[in-house]
Each structure stands twice: as C-alpha cells, then as structure tokens.
Amino acid sequence: MSSQKVAAEMQRSELNGEMTSNERLAHRIRLFEGMVFLGCLTVSLLNVAHYLEGLHFLVAFQLPLLLINIANLLLLRYHQKLELAINVMLGTVFLVLIGTAMIGGIANTGVLWLPIFPILAFLLVGKGGGVYWVISYNIAVLSLFIGELTGFDVTPYSVDFVVNAMVSTLVMSLIVYIYENQRQRLVDDLEVERIRAEEANRAKSQFLANMSHEIRTPMNGIIGLTNIMMRDDLSSESRRHAELIQVASEGLMGLIDDILDISKIEAHRIDISYQAVELPKLIEELVGLLKPEADAKGIKLESQLADGIPEWVMFDPLRLRQILLNIVGNSIKFTHKGEVSITVEKSNLRDNPEREVIGGWGGTQLHFTVRDSGIGIPAEKIDSVFEQFSQADNTLSREYGGSGLGLAISRELAEMMGGRLSVESGVGEGSIFHLYLPMIEADRVINKTIDISQLPEQFDLNVLVAEDDHINQFVITRFLHDLGCTVECVNNGEKAVEAANSGKYDLVLMDLHMPLMDGRQATKRIRAAEKSSQRLPIIALTANVISGEREACLEAGMDDFIVKPLQPERLREALAPCQKNDVKLL
C-alpha cells in the first residue's frame, strides 16, 4: 500500500473529525522525551567511565553534545517541533558514535557501538528519513576503514577490527531497512483497513438514521390515524383493536428510537446539553409515567430523595430521563411481585472508585439506585446486559420482548455525562442498578414549561401544510380541522413558496423532505421575498431527529420544530403563539 494512498485516506478521515493529531503529537513527544532522557543518562554514565579511564578528550568531545540534547528537549517543550528535535538528536548520536570509534571507548571497544545507529534512525524517522541518515552514517564508517587501509591512524583499533565494525554496520543497516520496509507496509495496510472500517461504520450509522426517518414517516400516519379512530364512537371490540394498534405502534417507535440513538452514538453525533433541572419534579414525573404499568402488575413503585440533595442541578434532562426510564422500565418488566424503588443520594468519588469523574467537577456525585425484587441476572451474564442487542438469557427476549439496546444506550449516555452505570444481581435475588453522575448545583430557575390545559381548544388560523405524503396530509388536516383551523395542502417546496407568498395564510407547517425543493430551501425563499413587518410563522414538521436538524431549521428561518409522529398536544403548543400573532422563537 503506497504512502500516498495512506495519506489520502488519513486526510479523508481527518475531514470527518476522526483524527486527534494534537493528542498523537503529544504522545510522540512524551515517548521521545523519555528516550532522550535515557540516552542522556547512559552517555553521562559512559562519560564517568571514560573519565576514570583517563579519556579526558573523549569526555570533552561528548559533553557539549550532551548539553545540546538537553537544550533540544527544552526547545521541544516550548516549540513542539518534534521532527527538528529528532534530527538534532540523531545528529548528536551520529557524532558521539563516530567520535567514540575514532578515539576509543570503554576497554577500547568503541566500534562495537556503530551498528546501533541504523536501528535508532529507522525507529525514529521511518524508512524515508532513515535511509538518508544510514547512508551518511555508512559513508562515515567506510571512511574510517579507508583511513586505516591508507595508513592514517584514525582509530586505535586494528584494520581487522574496523573491517568487522564496517561489515556489521552495513549488514545491520540492510536488515533494519528490510524490516522497516515490511513493517511500514503492514502499518499502512492496517491504517487503511482501520479507516475503511470506520467509514463503513459511519455509513451503517447513516443508513440506520435514514431508514429510521423513512420508517417514522409512515408511522406518523399509523399513529395519527389510530388517534383519530379512537375519537370516534367505536364499539368496545373496535376500540380494543385501536388500542392494540396504538400500543404496537408505540412499541415500534421505541425500537426505532433505540436504533437511532445507537447509530448517533456510534457516529459521535449525540450532544449533551446541560441546563438547570428540578430534580424532585423530574423523579416525580418519572414515577407518574411508569406507575400505571407497575400498578397493572401489582408492583409497588416508590421513590425517595435523601436529605441534602439539591433541588436544582445541572443535567441534560432529556438524557437523564432516558437513562432512568430504561432502568426503571427494565426493572418493572422483569419483576412479577414485590416492589421497585428509586433512591437518590449524594456520593463521593471514593464510593465509586472504578471510574474517575471527568470534566473538572470534583468528587461529589449523585448516586441513583434502582432496586427491584425481580427475576435477577446470573453472575456470569451481568456484563452482557450492557452489550448491544444482548440480553442475559436469549429466552427472555421471547418472553419479555425488547431490543436489547436500552441498557447499552443508557451506559453510553452515562459515560458521556462523566458518570457510570453498573448493576448487582443474582438469580432470584432481584437487581440493583447504580447510576453515578457528577453533581453541579444550579440556581433556581423559573419553570417555563407550558401548561397544556391553559392552551386554547380552538384556533382561528388559516394554515398551509407543505407535505408530500398523502396519508400524513390527511392526518395533519384532520388534527387541524379538529382545532378549528382552515387547511390547504401542497405537495412540494415550489408550491409551498408560491402559496406562502400569496399572503392569505397565518401559518405554514413545512415538511423538510419534499420533491423539487426541500423545506429549508423553501423557507429561505419565503423569507427572502417577505417584508420584515409581515413575517409568516413557519413550523418545521419532520421525522428526522438527527442531532443538529433542529438548529439547521432555525438557521434557515423557521420558528419552531415539531417531530413526527405528530402529537395533538405538541401541535396545540406550537399553534398558540400564532393565534396571538406572537411567533415563538426556540
């Protein structure tokens, strides 16, 4: 594999944000500094021996070179020019070895050191730079041999001894060159394969993300139509069927979201967004959400916050809620009787010695404990519960369902937030999940959550819906009609721009993926044509929940962002500011 090909592959990897050149440089500098330090120590000890032998001239020759290497280390520390430092060091070693051979070293065996240089040169600068250094070095050794043959007393050794030194140096140079050439080819091949594997992984993650988007679009229609059916006057049997469709759809959406989360984690596209969180309220909402499921199984679900727990802390509320929902939901699923309890208390780093807290937040942590009286996990299977698509027992997936992704995602998210997730369990003994997260107290903030009950039930709005999927058009139109809106639909971005510029609409619901022109492009066209005093509210409506999508929509000029499957409550929340002619900017 050519070096040019490796360089091209590495450059492409760098563009994708996978290379950490600064970290690699720092690591190489540390290795080089250690090598030079050991070399300087060795030369210092040799100089002591040379001094005791009376080779004062050799000591005087090597001491300045030793000082040059010390100065070289200091220069490297401040200027980070590693290649220059390596070449300076190789030059001084070159002179030390040749000088030792000319003057005589310990027990007059200085020429025995000569074959060392080729190893050092190829090791430090690779095949390319090593060849130039080794050729120059062999010329110098050959010059010593020629000097001895022509009668010049350039060394204190016999001609035969110098011949052996010259031959051994040439042979060592050839051996090391062949080895370095093969090693470099292997390294190049491995590097290219590594880069290709990473690109394949990114392609897989992008494929999963795209497929998740494509699946969410028809799921919006299924869930929306189910909601519409359940509003009608159905027979008990038909209502039961609709409820089963709704449960199945929500289960499928949960699986899609898990796959999407895994793909985003693998592609390094999950962002942790910290904000002030009212911890007691978050735990209360979590228990309220899962209590019906626990009650249906006859399980007691309770929570307790220890004394001294701050009311407001800095967390990513979405990710914290996601982790706790996975853990507590998992405990309820595998518990048939008894209880599931959630406790929150303070913990110090010494209580969690297996992992340091990152981010400079010190050793104070919040320790979330979820304890259940369920079926438990065999000791030899505990680690596998945190692996992707894995469960402690394959029969559990058939009996209890699930993708085997929830706990894997939870551990990844916990570690991304500087914490750790672990479990203690035994068969028939229940399980205890431990979640440690760094604790930062936050100032109390005003809760800006919108109370759905305070929103209007009806809206006097003329709405333009830009959506290319006919089923989604029907669902959105029905939702809007139920809210009192007048609706007109278009099926591509160009028609959306033309209709929006007519001035007869109060609001645009804009799908992002449409033929001819996508939603963001259409929004930019609309914004470019309108007057600043007549800003038309535009709300993105999309099945794409990839990180950065919301920000891209706002940057394009949209005012809000709704994720499919469409929820009537979220739609009411988005419509409310438009009713007041007050566009809500997120």
Tokens of residue 545, six digits:
């929940």
Spatial contact of 385 and 330, defined as CB atoms under 8 Å apart: no
Burial classification of residue 282, based on how many CB atoms lie within 10 Å of its CB (0-12 exposed, 13-18 middle, 19 or more buried): middle
Dihedral-angle region of residue 120 (phi above 0 means left; psi in -120 to 50 means alpha; beta otherwise): alpha
Spatial contact of 408 and 387, defined as CB atoms under 8 Å apart: yes
Dist CA 400 CA 336 (whole Å) = 12
| Dihedrals phi, psi of 355, to nearest 5 degrees | -145, 130
DSSP-derived secondary structure letter, 459: -
Assign 66 a pLDDT band (cuts: 50, 70, 90): confident
Higher pLDDT, 50 or 48: 48
Contacts of 178 (CB under 8 A, 6+ apart): none
State the average pLDDT over residues 499-527: 90
Q: Are strands 462-466 and 275-278 parallel, antiparallel or unpaired?
A: unpaired
Task: Give residue-wise pLDDT tens across range 539-578.
Answer: 998 876 665 677 788 888 898 888 877 778 888 888 888 8
Task: Give residue-wise pLDDT tens across range 313-362.
Answer: 888 887 888 889 889 988 998 898 899 999 999 876 544 444 444 433 44
Tokens of residue 428, six digits:
């028939």
- 571 by DSSP, 3-state: which? helix
Assign 6 a pLDDT band (cuts: 50, 70, 90): very low
State the average pLDDT over residues 123-135: 84
Tokens of residue 162, six digits:
């110098």
Among the listed ranges 122-131, 255-264, 300-309, 326-335, which one has the minimum average pLDDT value? 255-264
Assign 84 a pLDDT band (cuts: 50, 70, 90): confident
Q: What is the pLDDT of residue 217?
A: 74
Q: What is the pLDDT of residue 371?
A: 93
Q: Positive or negative, the Cα torsion across 161, 163, 164, 169?
A: positive
Q: What is the pLDDT of residue 273?
A: 74
Q: What is the pLDDT of residue 426?
A: 84
Helix, strand, coil fractions of the chain, as percent rounded to 5: 60, 10, 25
Tokens of residue 463, six digits:
């709405």
Dist CA 113 CA 137 (whole Å) = 13
Higher pLDDT, 400 or 29: 29
Residues 19-28 as b/e (b if ≥16 CB within 10 A, e otherwise) read eeeeeeeeee
Helix ranges, 299-393 (H): 317-333
The angle formed by the CA atoms of residues 555, 561 and 564, to the nearest 5 degrees, is: 135
Residue 109 pLDDT > 80: no
| Dihedrals phi, psi of 377, to nearest 5 degrees | -130, 130
Spatial contact of 62 and 96, defined as CB atoms under 8 Å apart: yes
Tokens of residue 32, six digits:
């080089």
- Alpha carbon 384 to its chain centroid, in Å, reads 21
Task: Give residue-wise pLDDT tens across range 433-467.
Answer: 999 988 887 766 544 455 566 778 888 899 999 99
- Alpha carbon 255 to its chain centroid, in Å, reads 21
